[in-house]
Amino acid sequence: MDDTMTRTVPTRDAAADDGSHAIADPCWSARPTGTAVMLIVTSLVSLAATIIIMVERAILTADPTYVTSCDINPWLSCGRVMQSWQAMTFGFPNPLIGLVAFPMLITVGAALLAGGRFARWFWVLLNIGLVGGLAFAAWLWYAAVYSIGTLCLYCMVVWAMVIVQTVLVTSRNLQTGALPVGPRIAALARDLAWPVIVLLWVLVAASILMEMGLGVIGLG
């Protein structure tokens, strides 16, 4: 008599960190491949902008008469922002933070694409780091709009990408259980992630136009 039995082993979504809290249908960006693509694309865009800022800052330091590539009008002038004290908040050029952080995020994305999976504590720490990065970006936005009175185009590209990273990783963690919440909140995190991103972009743009006027886009 053959005693061999076939058993079906229950599985859970590969995106989940805690199956007891993860919703059954996380969105694409909350799954490993989606999170990986998001981190790689947004970090590559941010890294490119950061490198441009660093190169132009070096040229401007060597030649104070140099006109940066985004010195477009009195309201859009990377050169003026680079010469402000806020551009060296911690005693060194702010872009150095991005030169370290964005390659790290690209590495995380590449590891996910390669099949790597991370423990819950890793995602929580990553989330905390991104929230800190978003808070710093928010402070730089406030300084540029309300103190310096001038915007850096490449900096704004980085702000936009950091918003995407922070919101989508937070949404991912809520959906997969890395941040334990009930199914209803997890579903809201799934459904409202991109509306929140667009809302934050609109609020930033509105604050700029209200403070600086239409001249910032060449209509004033």
Domains annotated for the chain, with CATH where assigned, are 28-217 (1.20.1440)
The 8-class DSSP code of residue 21 comes to: T
Identify the three-state secondary structure at position 76. strand
N-terminal to C-terminal alpha carbon distance within the chain: 89
Per-residue pLDDT for 217 more than 90? Answer: no
Quote the percentage of the chain above a pLDDT of 70: 90
pLDDT digits (tens, 9 = 90+) for 46-69: 999 999 999 999 999 999 999 999
Burial class of residue 147 in the structure, from the number of CB atoms within 10 Å of its CB (0-12 exposed, 13-18 middle, 19+ buried): exposed
Give dist(CA 32, CA 146) in Å, integer. 39
pLDDT digits (tens, 9 = 90+) for 127-165: 999 999 999 999 999 999 999 999 999 999 999 999 999
Residue type present at position 124: V
- Listed in sequence order, the DSSP H helices in the chain are 32-62, 78-82, 95-113, 120-142, 153-176, 183-212
- In the numeric block, the tokens 């900096």 are attached to 155
